[in-house]
Structure 1
Amino acid sequence: MTELTTPRRGRPRSADADLAILAATRAALAEHGWGGLTMGDVATRAGVAKTTLYRRWPSRNELVVDAVAVLFDDLEMIDLGSLRADIEAVVQQFADLLALPESQAALLALFAEATRDPALRQRVREAIIDPQKRLVHQGRAAAQARGELPPDADPEVAAQDVDIIFDTIAGAVEHRVLVLGACADPQWISRFTTLLLAPLTALHQD
């Protein structure tokens, strides 16, 4: 759960102020990188007092993770009537998000720093990665309801499958867009979905 959704006692927080701070964080990160990012600069960009910023986010790590996590809030798995259509739609959303300059700068800086900081890596997993696995759960549930995939026979195996599917999608799209700097166009997404679905449909037929 991110700071945006964590209930707190005392004076109600302003959602507009939070979003302004998170946007300012991404802008500062894109301009200065992780090493040049300061809480004072973020506060100035967002038009808030530094004390206000620290009350919301006690550390730079927490602030940057939430600034990135909020970018993924609008991703959704819409039931379009088939597993193929559902996957292609969410992959397109993800690719479009990663193509944004602010997303690229923020994610690359965050992931690079997380490789050196185990605590930050854990927070990235809890605040960004694990919540997005809901998309896989939703897609599988819709496909199972339509009879495209069999029901889960073993919860432990099903959880492992969700992890693998998520890692496959996230890894492939991030590699193409962030590492290669290539476009995830509809043709690429269609071919990727075909390769992703092949083992799933084969297992269902067995």
Structure 2
Amino acid sequence: MQSRIPSTARTGRPRSAATDAAILEATRVALVELGWSKLTMGDVATRAGVAKTTLYRRWAGKNELVVDAVAELFDELELPDRGSLSADIEGVVLQFAALLNRPEAKTALMAVIAESTHDEPLRERIRTSIVERQKRLVLQGRARAQARGELPLEQDPETASRTADLIFDVAAGAVVHRTLVSAEPVDEDWVHRFTALLLTGLQG
């Protein structure tokens, strides 16, 4: 898992990874139990066993804290080499769906998305801390497929970047919609059919 360094970090004593982990875990637990509206920095501090000032040395407020708590979950996603582009896609989509079905991930993600509809700085933080970070999976998968000869190389960096954005939007959007909006299962059959449809576009 990649370490998270909130943008509000200040110079001074070295950060404690154990303290950060305890705070982010406490945040996710509090979200599940209390919901967004009732969650407070004080409650998170109590659950994590730290002073409230410790939180504010790391995060400016609840919005930043909750986004980082969600981002840490998404950093768990990996793209193991399963031998083919289709198998790689199916593997990461199943991982993603399983993550979204975890109560702490589902509650936290829905909360920050809802709050961001009227909070542009929060929306930007979601983009930079979650969306942009997870595009690494698309870049890694596409590079691996190109090395295998499954996808053509793209010579224009701008075109390659736009393609990566589109792949991410399609894959992530489909899984989030089916899991959190439609509340339908993302099982192996659905993932297989979705992957076949996605590959039609990629290889067309």
Report the Cα distance in structure 2 between the residues aligned to 1:41 and 1:6, rounded to whole angstroms: 20
Identify the residue that residue 72 of structure 1 maps to in structure 2. 74
Following TM superposition, by how much is the alpha carbon of 1:169 offset from its aligned partner in structure 2, in angstroms?
0.5
Match of 2:95 among 82, 93, 96: 93
Identify the residue that residue 140 of structure 2 maps to in structure 1. 138
Identify the residue that residue 186 of structure 2 maps to in structure 1. 184
Match of 2:11 among 9, 12, 31: 9
Pair 55,6 (structure 1): closer, same or farther in 2 beyond 3 Å:
closer
Aligned residues: 202
Report the Cα distance in structure 2 between the residues aligned to 1:6 and 1:115, rounded to whole angstroms: 22
Report if the CA contact (8 A) 2:6-2:59 is conserved: no
Once structures 1 and 2 are overlaid, which stretch shifts more, 174-183 or 133-142? Answer: 174-183
Unaligned runs of 5+ in 2: none
Report the Cα distance in structure 1 between the residues aligned to 2:115 and 2:9, rounded to whole angstroms: 28
Following TM superposition, by how much is the alpha carbon of 1:185 offset from its aligned partner in structure 2, in angstroms?
0.6
Give aligned-pair identity as a percent. Answer: 62
For 1:46-195, what aligned pairs fall within 5 Å after superposition?
46-195=48-197
Pair 144,7 (structure 1): closer, same or farther in 2 beyond 3 Å:
farther
Report the Cα distance in structure 1 between the residues aligned to 2:48 and 2:166, rounded to whole angstroms: 39
AA aligned opposite 1:139: G
Following TM superposition, by how much is the alpha carbon of 1:54 offset from its aligned partner in structure 2, in angstroms?
1.0
AA aligned opposite 1:198: T
Identify the residue that residue 198 of structure 2 maps to in structure 1. 196
Unaligned runs of 5+ in 1: none
Report if the CA contact (8 A) 1:2-1:127 is conserved: no
Residues 30-70 of structure 1: CA deviation (Å, up to 9, x unaligned): 22222211100000111111111111112111101101000
Following TM superposition, by how much is the alpha carbon of 1:9 offset from its aligned partner in structure 2, in angstroms?
3.3
Following TM superposition, by how much is the alpha carbon of 1:12 offset from its aligned partner in structure 2, in angstroms?
1.8
Report if the CA contact (8 A) 1:22-1:67 is conserved: yes
Report the Cα distance in structure 2 between the residues aligned to 1:130 and 1:23, rounded to whole angstroms: 22
Following TM superposition, by how much is the alpha carbon of 1:182 offset from its aligned partner in structure 2, in angstroms?
1.8
Task: Determine helix, strand or coil for the equivalent of 1:34.
Answer: coil
AA aligned opposite 1:76: E
Once structures 1 and 2 are overlaid, which stretch shifts more, 52-61 or 183-192? Answer: 52-61
Once structures 1 and 2 are overlaid, which stretch shifts more, 179-188 or 132-141? Answer: 179-188
For 1:19-58, what aligned pairs fall within 5 Å after superposition?
19-58=21-60
Report the Cα distance in structure 1 between the residues aligned to 2:87 and 2:30, rounded to whole angstroms: 37
Report if the CA contact (8 A) 1:4-1:18 is conserved: no
Pair 136,6 (structure 1): closer, same or farther in 2 beyond 3 Å:
farther
The TM-score normalised by the length of structure 2 is 0.94
